[in-house]
Structure 1
Amino acid sequence: MKSFKILLALCLISMLFSCGADDDICESGEGTPRMKVSFLSAETGKEKPVDSLYVAVDYGSGKVQLGGQAKITSRIIPLRVDDSPYTDIYFRTENLGAESKVRVNYTTKSVYVSPGCGIKKTYENLNSVLTTSATAPVKTIQAGQNFIENEDKTNLYLLF
């Protein structure tokens, strides 16, 4: 009977120490935010849905294709999370068509979130530069919100 009480006490003590906050999963948008890109008409300056858009991003080891989407008015794009001061993003309206290159320059700041999430990056002082040719789909760009803390506001407008 005495060993049963000891075993029961050990079980209760181990349950007390094993219970804690669930910090294993980074939920509710606490991770590093992505950049929101929206589309405008070059003639009217009003929001314009794009029939198809293919995006590629250079994260430092070559282009990574993020795939295409159809009939969209905005797109969320992850930026580099290393210490690079810029990210190159490539936009196409056709799968194998001409592309427009946009270099997004920024400064980053690291913010501690929690033991499960670790550190997230925030981006400040966004400045975008369009490199395009005569056949490129993007005609010009417009700046939006110049910092990224969440994914609610548009940071860059592409004019087609």
Structure 2
Amino acid sequence: MKYLTYLIIIICGIFMISSCGGDDDICESGEGTPRLKVAFKSAADGKTMPLDSLYVAVDYGSGKVQLGKLEKIDSRLIPLRVDDSPYTDVYFRFANKGPESHVRIGYTTKTAYVSPGCGIKKTYENLSSELKQSNPVQKVEAGQNQIVNEDKINLYLLF
């Protein structure tokens, strides 16, 4: 009888451990809200180029949030606002205390339910960009007009 009790406890423990977690507990297969993909071009010849360093900050509605510095990059993924705002302000600079360019990204959004783990996914359409302050970025150039996934370049910054 004593062994039967231990056997039942072990079997229950195995069932409890194997039932924990599932495929839709975590949104890990790229089903979440996609980010804006920015690449860089030379203003002189229009060819793509890598940057030695880039600092990015984004205003999500309550002031600027620093996304940090990346080095030796040819593109950067930037999360946009997920509230009902029709635009996101993004700031770019080469040095920590250097001059800063201000770019406003305008869009319309659509929402779709993905899964219990991921929740709702936003996609961005009708992208537009406006250069508000032009140092160090000299010009902006449109890429793909919608953000459905993170594969295509949506915006080119010309330096």
TM bucket (normalised to shorter chain) is 0.7 to 0.9
> In the alignment, which residue of structure 1 is the partner of 2:145?
146
> In the alignment, which residue of structure 2 is the partner of 1:91?
92
1:72 and 2:67 correspond: no
Q: Distance in 1 between matches of 2:56 and 2:110?
A: 25
Percent of aligned pairs sharing the same letter: 71
Structure 1 vs Structure 2 CA RMSD = 2.0
Q: Distance in 1 between matches of 2:62 and 2:123?
A: 22
> What does the per-residue CA deviation read over 1:25-74, in whole Å, with 9 as the maximum and x for residues that have no partner?
11110000000000000011001111111000000000000011111110
1:45 and 2:46 correspond: yes
> What does the per-residue CA deviation read over 1:135-156, in whole Å, with 9 as the maximum and x for residues that have no partner?
x100001000010010000000
Number of equivalences:
150
Q: Distance in 1 between matches of 2:49 and 2:100?
A: 19
Deviation at 1:22, TM superposition (A): 3.1
- Aligned residue runs from structure 1 range 112-123, under 5 A: 112-123=113-124
Structure 1 unaligned residues grouped into runs of 5+ = none
1:26 and 2:24 correspond: no
Deviation at 1:90, TM superposition (A): 0.2
Runs of 4+ in 1 over 2 A off after TM superposition: 18-22
1:124 and 2:146 correspond: no
Deviation at 1:21, TM superposition (A): 4.5
1:110 and 2:124 correspond: no
> In the alignment, which residue of structure 2 is the partner of 1:158?
157
